[in-house]
Amino acid sequence: MSKSLEKIAKHWQKAIAGGLEKLRVDEWDMDIYIKKTYPFSVESRVMKLQSQGEPVEALVETLVVKALDKDGKRIFADADKINLMNEADPSVILKIVTAINTANLRVEGKEDAKELQPTQS
């Protein structure tokens, strides 16, 4: 493995080793736990729906594949997607998915964002 790939892998291991962030969902009387980052195998399911012009399905898919219990296990099964799309308050799903999608920004903060700013060479 090249030095560049070693650095990339080290960063990834550090990113996924981070703890879970707890989201309290009062409307559902439950806690949902999220990570600050997810592998492409998870992200690709959401991206595929977005690219197919299915934004609502992509939102629900985000919830299904990224909402975790306190042990880091998925709360929802793939089959729960139908129920979530038809029997859950869309505003609550949107609130949760927004929190999931912005977890990296909240955890990383402005200092890390500053590191990614382009510089002149």
What pLDDT is stored for residue 120 in this prediction? 46
What is the mean pLDDT of the segment spanning 112-120? 44
Residue ranges and CATH numbers for the domains of the chain are 19-110 (3.30.2220.20)
Number of residues that this document lists for the chain: 121
Query: 24: pLDDT confidence band, cut at 50, 70 and 90?
Result: very high
What pLDDT is stored for residue 73 in this prediction? 94
Taking a C-beta distance cutoff of 8 angstroms, is the pair 64, 78 a contact?
A: yes
Taking a C-beta distance cutoff of 8 angstroms, is the pair 81, 61 a contact?
A: yes
Of the candidate ranges 8-12, 43-47, 63-67, 108-112, the one whose mean pLDDT is the lowest:
108-112
| pLDDT at residue 80 greater than cutoff 50 | yes
pTM summary value: 0.77
What is the mean pLDDT of the segment spanning 76-104? 93
Among 72, 55, 54, 64, which Cα is nearest to 88's? 64
Structure tokens at 107: 């955890």
3-state helix, strand, coil in the chain (%, to 5): 60, 10, 30
Structure tokens at 108: 């990383």
Q: Residue 15 carries which side chain, given as an amino acid letter?
A: A
What pLDDT is stored for residue 66 in this prediction? 93
